[in-house]
Amino acid sequence: MSFDLAAYLADRRRAVDEALERYLPAKDAPPATIHEAMRYSVFAGGKRLRPILAIGGAEAVGGTMERVLPTACALELIHTYSLIHDDLPAMDDDDYRRGRLTNHKVFGEAIAILAGDALLTLAFGLLAEHASIEVVREVAWAAGTFGMIGGQVVDIQSEGKSVDAETLEYIHRHKTAALIRASLVSGAMLAGASPPALTAIREAGTHLGLAFQIVDDILDVEGSLEELGKTAGKDRRKKKATYPEHFGLETSRLKAKALIEDAKAALLSLGSPAEPIRALADFIFQRKS
């Protein structure tokens, strides 16, 4: 029987949402505005891809979802903080995210900045309490200036310029791929993965992360506000460095597909427990939102 990814995603997403519900401060806990703003963006929908990858990373090496749930939630909180800040007028200046108005459109810029800061702070609090020091380090590097923030800096500095393929790959590997890889790796680390298993997971995460961002670039060209939950076509209007702009749509699709196959090949040595991540790899390529 083939693996039922839809059921797997629905089950893991429910568990992640229930845990997030527990970890986020109550909407009416004072000062209520900030807690409402945090919850507004976290519970606006979202695929929960990073937490599910953390769970899949653990399960691939014999671990359990329960052990990694707080870390999985921390990764989603960091991701949500990056979306809130990325949407600010000083950055991408977006009105829609996850199918609703962006955080600053509802709560104002000051609260949106603080909501992002608060989610990041809460995430590291959760990691400190429930993860290992190795995982805290992994996530900190992935989210920081040698990871996501570094990629965002080069992305912003490249707007309106024609960048070479190396810079484009640098942006994508850092802005997006670093946190995706850290998600898989953190789950596997907490589950006590052996060094060879961790190497395989790290390699798969590197390929998956880059493929994810290339597909994101393609969706920005081909998708709509209804499908994506955010304004489509923004990359072109903002003259962003993207794969379709640099290589064309068809070559970008081929590159993403090759990366997905590389990721699946890296996971072969882990056998059937890695089946959910292999199915997730295909999902990343086929997704429409």
The residues binding ligand GRG (CB under 6 A) are: 46-47, 49, 79, 82-83, 85-86, 98, 148-149, 152, 175-176, 213, 216
Minimum CB separation of residue 248 from ligand GRG in Å reads 20
Distance CA 267, CA 197 (A): 9
Minimum CB separation of residue 83 from ligand GRG in Å reads 5
Minimum CB separation of residue 139 from ligand GRG in Å reads 14
- Residue facing ligand GRG at closest CB distance: 46
3-state class (DSSP) for residue 100: strand
In the complex with ligand GRG, which residue's Cβ is closer, 225 or 268?
Answer: 225
Minimum CB separation of residue 196 from ligand GRG in Å reads 29
In the complex with ligand GRG, which residue's Cβ is closer, 70 or 116?
Answer: 116
Distance CA 85, CA 101 (A): 14
Minimum CB separation of residue 272 from ligand GRG in Å reads 26
In the complex with ligand GRG, which residue's Cβ is closer, 83 or 189?
Answer: 83
Distance CA 189, CA 210 (A): 21
Strands (E) in the chain, as ranges, are 96-97, 100-101
- Using alpha carbons, select from 27, 31, 35, 69 the residue that is nearest to residue 52: 69
In the complex with ligand GRG, which residue's Cβ is closer, 83 or 281?
Answer: 83
Distance CA 172, CA 174 (A): 5
In the complex with ligand GRG, which residue's Cβ is closer, 49 or 210?
Answer: 49
3-state class (DSSP) for residue 101: strand
CB neighbourhood size of 98 (10 A)? 20
